[in-house]
Amino acid sequence: MHKITFFPIGNADSYLIDLECGRKLLFDYANVHDPKNEDDKRIDLEAELRKNLDEADRNYLDAVAFTHLDKDHYHRSTEFFYLEHAKKYQDEHRIKIKELWVPAAVILEEALTGEAAVLRAEARYRLKNGSGIRVFSRPARLQSWLEGEGISIEDRRHLITDAGQIIPGYGLADDGIEFFVHSPFAITQEDGTSINRNEASLVLQATFNCEGELTYFLLTADTTHEIWKEIVNITKYHNNEERLKWHISKIPHHCSYLSLSSEKGMDVTKPIPEVQWLLDHGQDSGLLISPSKPIPQNDDDDQPPHRQAANCYRAVAAGNEGEFKVTMEHPSISRPEPLVIAIDSNGHTLIKKTVSAASIITSRITPRAG
């Protein structure tokens, strides 16, 4: 059985794939939980991941992908991971990364500060070193950056995967999973000096195999409707429609209407035709997961999640006997828990376990007793 776990961390992304073969892949990391705030329902991501790794008696993840360098995708990651480029990130409690996955933009982006700059330094170090990294897309500027470091792009070609390719090292037969790369594609990074991060982010389709039963999962980063338009058209152009099939889809950008259309709509966002096509490409019992705060009842907040977008996704779910789930609402707004999807020969199953009172009590600190 494979497992996908989405962590309830508010408007931030982090989800873990546990493969039946034992390999573990993490997509984005944002530990936004505030331990000082008793009302903060966002989970302590570091603790959750450590629990998972401890159970497997491990101190590493097989792959960690940063889909793009926005804070809600990397917050406090430099406190958690063992980074190879500098001693100060190397104490024994840190979690090691066997292979770091980044879009080329992470290497190339210039005006970065703080943790983003640290992650860039790590990616650059690994790429220069020639191991422990996979870079997605190969814009001309990557070549010139490498040449500036005295390395030819040919020497690093095995570490670079372009859109339209399968990620090496993972196979349907041996690992029960295959990743197809949709984005970034080279053209999105050729427009002048500045790089639009969302446009240059990592979008994948994962195909799980369990005894011949295939389950498709779209890993969508913060993709906007403009980029979806490009992805859908390119995919159709190459007759690769299969590669946009989904049983499970992460909803981009915390359920923002901008991933559907430029218009929010009154009560329901109407997606542009390409996005509508993509949503209609969902299979039976399609699961749409919004990694976000609970869906609001009104439009007071400009920031996502947007209730109009949520209504659009709900309609899609209703159409294929699927479900629309929000990480901070699962299983309840008052007590969100990690959202787990099991994948086996019965396809995918959204796990709906209830937790016993005793295990709730023993999994958290008790209130103060006087």
Partner 1 sequence: MLENFEANGDTIKTEELRVAKAVDLVATIGKIPYVRLVECKRVDEQSEVVVLEVEVELPRIKVYDIRRDERIAVCFDPTDSEQPEVLAVRRDFPEVPHLNLRLFEFPRSLCLFEEPYEEIKLRWTPTFLLNRIREWLALTAKGQLHQDDQPLEPLLGNPDGNIVLPDELFQPDGTKIHASYIAHRYGERNTLIVKGLTAESINDEPNDKLSSVLVLEGEPQQHGVISKNPRSIPALSSLVDKAGIHLLKELRNRCAALANNKPYSTVLNSYLIIVLILPKKRRADRQSEDTDTWVFLCPHTILEIGEKIGVWEVRNGEPGILLEYDINRGGEELNIALFKPHRAFSQEYASVLNGLPEPFINTQISLVGTGALGSQICVNLTKCGIGKWALFDYDILLPHNFARHALPYNDFLVGSKKVKALEIFVNNDISFKPIVNTFDIDVVRSHNSEDEVQKSFENADVILDCSTSIAVARYLALDVKTNARMISAFLNPVGSDLVVLIEDKNRETPLDLLEMQYYRHLINQPEYSNHLRRPNERVRYAIGCRDITSRIPQNSVAIHAGIGSRVFQNSLDNPDSKIGIWQINEQDLSVSCDLFPAPVLIAENVGEWKIRTDEALINKLLGERNEKLPSETGGVLVGSFDTSRKIVYMIDSLSSPPDSIEWPNLYIRGFKGLSEKLQIIQQITMNNLEYVGEWHSHPKGSDSRPSSTDWQASEMLSGIMNQDMLPSLMVIVGDKHELSFVLCEEDKVIVKTIFC
Please name which of 370, 366, 369 lies closest in space to residue 38, comparing C-alpha atoms.
Answer: 366
Q: Which CB atom, from 139 or from 282, has the smaller least distance to partner 1?
A: 282
From CA 229, how far away is CA 224, in angstroms rounded? 9
DSSP annotation string for 135-189: EE---HHHHHHHHHTT--HHHHGGGEE-TTSBPTT--TTTTSEEEEEEE--GGGG
Both tokens of 31, joined, read: 């530990």
Interior angle at CA 15, CA 9 and CA 20, nearest 5: 145
Under rule CB under 8 A, which residues in 169-228 are in contact with partner 1? 213, 215
Q: Judged by CB under 8 A, which of 303, 345, 361, 363 binds partner 1?
A: 345
Q: Judged by CB under 8 A, which of 2, 24, 293, 348 binds partner 1?
A: 348
Under rule CB under 8 A, which residues in 303-332 are in contact with partner 1? 321, 323, 331-332
CA–CA distance from 358 to each of 48, 332, 361, 366, 367 (Å)?
A: 19, 18, 5, 12, 15
Per-residue interface string for the shown chain with partner 1, residues 252-291, x marking contact by CB under 8 A = -------------------------------xxx------
Name the one range near partner 1 by CB under 8 A: 107-115, 149-157, 288-296, 352-360. 352-360
Q: Judged by CB under 8 A, which of 111, 173, 357, 369 binds partner 1?
A: 357
DSSP annotation string for 222-248: T--HHHHHHHHHHHHHTT-GGGG-EEE
Phi, psi (rounded to 5 degrees) for 258: -65, -15
Q: Which CB atom, from 79 or from 213, has the smaller least distance to partner 1?
A: 213
What minimum distance in Å lies between the beta carbon of 354 and partner 1? 5
Please give the span between the terminal C-alpha atoms of the chain, in angstroms, as a whole number.
46
Interior angle at CA 246, CA 297 and CA 218, nearest 5: 75
Tell me if 364 contacts partner 1 by CB under 8 A. no
Q: Judged by CB under 8 A, which of 23, 197, 247, 325 binds partner 1?
A: 247
Name the one range near partner 1 by CB under 8 A: 29-37, 69-77, 257-265, 350-358. 350-358
Tell me if 356 contacts partner 1 by CB under 8 A. yes
Name the one range near partner 1 by CB under 8 A: 99-107, 193-201, 292-300, 344-352. 344-352
Residues that bind partner 1 (CB under 8 A): 213, 215, 247, 283-285, 321, 323, 331-332, 344-354, 356-357
